[in-house]
Amino acid sequence: MNLSQEDWKSKLENDPNAVILDVRTEEEWNEGIIPNAVLNDIYKGQGFLYKLDELDKSKNYYVYCKAGSRSAQACAIMNQMGFETTFNLEGGFMKWKGDVAFRDEN
């Protein structure tokens, strides 16, 4: 399901069963992430699918990429794999107005 930035953020804040999934590349990930996101690069193909297979399908997944199209594709793949609840962030990280975290440089 596609959600506006506001709806995605407010649903996420009130969801104790939420997992934030970032499907961008590692280079994009290094530019900043939505706090507590888990990286799974959709461009990794089979590796992306293997990582999805390891996830708990009973959780609610809040998925984002840079602009919203890769994450929409990821949600469709996840739904086909049996994930019941996926939310795509419309506009992606480019339009994100919430908190941003950066990976430790250590």
What's the burial of 68, exposed, middle or buried (CB within 10 Å: 0-12/13-18/19+)?
A: buried
What's the burial of 15, exposed, middle or buried (CB within 10 Å: 0-12/13-18/19+)?
A: middle
Residue 75 annotated among the catalytic residues of the structure: no
**Of 12, 65, 74, 89, which is the active-site residue?**
65
Alpha helix (H) ranges present in 1-106? 5-13, 26-29, 46-53, 69-80
38-39 sheet: strands from edge to edge = 2-3, 85-89, 60-64, 18-22, 38-39
**Which of the residues are catalytic?**
65
